[in-house]
Amino acid sequence: MKKNILAVLLVSASFMGLGATANAQLSKAASEATDSAKHKIDEKRADDEARKSGPVGKAVNNVKSGYHKNRSQNSAEKAKQSLKNAG
């Protein structure tokens, strides 16, 4: 997670000389990478809570975990696409 954010920041620093459109795409990529990291954290929390819960809690937290996993992957893909669009 930290590596993703760091990579986006390094790439954005290397593109500082680009136009406004590229900078906007880099900002969007950084935002999506941050969202991806947040969803990954929420996914891990839901997994942890599922291990500690009873049967109903496990089901609820497993659904939460799946949701956050999908959102994390989606945000990561959007960040990659924004970086491609900036280049």
pLDDT at 61 over 80: yes
Domain ranges of the chain: 2-86
Tell me what the mean pLDDT of segment 19-31 comes to.
80
The whole-model pTM stands at 0.71
DSSP string across 31-50: HHHHHHHHHHHHHHHHHHHH
Cβ within 8 Å of residue 37, ≥6 positions away: 1, 2, 4, 5, 72
- Chain-wide mean pLDDT for the chain? 84
Tell me what the mean pLDDT of segment 59-77 comes to.
95
pLDDT at 13 over 80: no
Q: Which of the pair, 22 or 68, is modelled with greater confidence?
A: 68
